[in-house]
Amino acid sequence: MAVSDHVGFPEFMAGVEKRNPGQKEFVQAIHEVAQDIFEFIQDKEEYHEYQILRRIAEPDRVVSFRVCWEDDDNNIRVQRGWRVQNNNAIGPYKGGIRFHPNVTESVLKFLAFEQTFKNSLTGLSLGGGKGGSNFNPKGKSDHEVMRFCQSFMTELFRHVGDDIDVPAGDIGVGGREIAYMFGQYKRITNKFSGVLTGKGLEFGGSLVRTEATGYGAVYFLQDMLKRAGDDVEGKTAVVSGSGNVATHAAEKIVHLGGKVLTLSDSQGFVFDPDGFDLEKISWVKEHKTRRRGRIADYVEVYPSAKFHAEARPWGVPCDLAVPCATQNEIRGEDAKSLVANGCIVVVEGANMPTDLDGVAVFKNARILFGPGKAANAGGVALSGLEMSQNAARVVWSEEELQERLRQLMLGIHDRCTQYGVSAGASKDTGYCDYVKGANIAGFKKVADAMLAYGVV
Ligand code: NDP
Ligand code: 2IT
């Protein structure tokens, strides 16, 4: 069959929508990747013939299960759990677990799809997966969270394993939840293995895993700026979220001499005109993670700051925007106001925080735009290093891991520029479409492995 006889992008997307009715986040994620891949494979017959993109966009399997648990008032509660194993062409399925009331199969399928490209971009041997539940950990006691996590793992354990599928944390799943799940896995299987990453340091966790996503995103930002002959020093940054990724991204921006103006949570954002210094960021970490409090409480401790209820921070003028909360938090209108206010770089700490309209605004404005699958890959990359340490039963030093994270992010940046700069432009200085670069570089490794396997 001639290449010109194969389906084009619009027909491909129509098929995706038909096969995944109502799964708008999943369709959106495929849309963003597929437009670049279609361009890349237009003269590459094998990728068409073997239906590679069509196969990557169909998860290997989606496991859905009931999770029953008992709350502190002895009510029996029923939640739904999932594990989406998207693709293991280049390594065991790998990706986080999200506990949040808005988790649906569509959300987890988009995350597992994105994760496949992200994990490939790290250069490590990691396939793509994601899991989670519509369980809301907010307002639950430690014992309720423990009972939920144990029940969740009582089903999940059949589907995971250190060479099969290795989950980690994501929204609503941090060190506490990973420990409860790991304890239950160990109890059921009688095996101490690296089945989860993000573990406590006492039981196989890795140094630097906690900081890795946020630090990595800012390293990526630093590399984009450096390529443009600039740096973070003296720049103002608007950061959203106040969880693991946001607080560590903010911390690294401060280390590099930038000024962080905002942090947020699901109830609104805080603007601090003096900037969040390391002590203030540390207060936020303690308050949000240990005390499980609200970002709004910040203004009681630091009264020069102002809390904006039910609002997102994208209207605050800044040089750098770093979305680190959730999907679709930057819409087209938000993107326009960032550009109009002089923002020069957007780097995504979260997964798919910018919707398709927003991405188009950033691309048209030709500002530096680092997509999540490249910019936030430091977390999963460090998870990959946790897996290596577990397998070899060794512990690497903080210094070694910090250096490896830095090099991994540099490698990801390099892979993006390899495919993101138009033919004829300079690889070192020409405009880089990082979205395209990340999509193609991430796709190519997985696609070539799939080609080698034939039709399986
Ligand atoms: P956390 O649970 O630690 O923090 C999440 C933060 O985002 C909180 O401030 C939370 O506010 C806010 N948030 C969550 N959902 C919403 C929503 N619907 N609207 C507004 N704010 C919201 O999660 P992480 O920091 O780990 O994850 C943040 C993002 O980074 C996610 O997109 C995740 O997929 C991505 N990511 C995480 C990695 C990791 O290693 N942890 C790796 C790569 C990407 P509140 O407290 O009010 O809920
Ligand atoms: O989105 C992500 O990359 C994560 N939540 C981390 C995944 C991992 O396996 O460390």
Query: What are φ and ψ of residue 269, in 5° steps?
Result: -130, 155
pLDDT at 4: 53
Assign domain 214-375 to a CATH class.
alpha beta
What per-residue confidence (pLDDT) applies to 166?
A: 99
| Active-site choice (109, 118, 130, 285) | 130
Predicted confidence band at 423 (pLDDT cuts at 50, 70, 90)? confident
The encoded tokens of residue 371 equal 């997509």
Confirm if 93 and 383 have CB atoms less than 8 A apart.
Answer: no
Nearest residue (CA) to ligand 2, atom 4 = 96
Question: Cβ(94) to ligand 2 under 6 A?
Answer: yes
- Examine the pLDDT at 323 and tell me if it is beyond 80: yes
130 carries an active-site annotation: yes
pLDDT (tens digit, 9 = 90+) per residue, 195-221? 999 999 999 999 999 999 999 999 999
Which ligand is closest to the CA of 376, given by its number?
A: 1
At 405-422, the pLDDT tens digits run 999 999 999 999 999 998
Whether 95 lines ligand 2, by a CB cut-off of 6 Å, is yes
CA 305 to ligand 2 center in whole angstroms: 32
351 C-alpha to ligand 2 centroid (Å): 10
Q: Cβ(386) to ligand 2 under 6 A?
A: no
Beta carbons within 8 Å of 182's beta carbon, 6+ residues apart: 195, 196, 199, 203
pLDDT score for 5: 65
pLDDT digit string, tens, across residues 26-73? 999 999 999 999 999 999 999 999 999 999 999 999 999 999 999 999
Q: At what angle do helices 398-420 and 378-392 cross, to 10 degrees?
A: 130
Q: Tell me the CA–centroid distance for residue 169 and ligand 1, in Å.
A: 10
Average pLDDT, the chain: 97
Rounded distance from Cα 177 to ligand 2 centre (Å): 14
Fold of 61-193: Rossmann fold (3.40.50)
Q: pLDDT tens digits, residue range 125-140?
A: 999 999 999 999 999 9
Ligand that comes closest to the CA of residue 327:
1
Pairwise CA distance, residues 323 & 277, whole Å = 19
pLDDT for 3 = 53
**pLDDT tier at 290, thresholds 50, 70, 90:** confident
Is pLDDT above 80 for 173? yes
Q: What is the rounded average pLDDT of the residues 164-168?
A: 99
Minimum-distance ligand 2 atom for the alpha carbon of 209: 10
pLDDT at position 291: 87
Q: Is 210 in the pocket of ligand 1 (CB under 6 A)?
A: no
φ, ψ of residue 267 to 5 degrees: the values are -100, -10
- Cβ(156) – ligand 1 distance below 6 Å: no
- The type of residue at 172 is G
Beta bridge partners of 94: 166
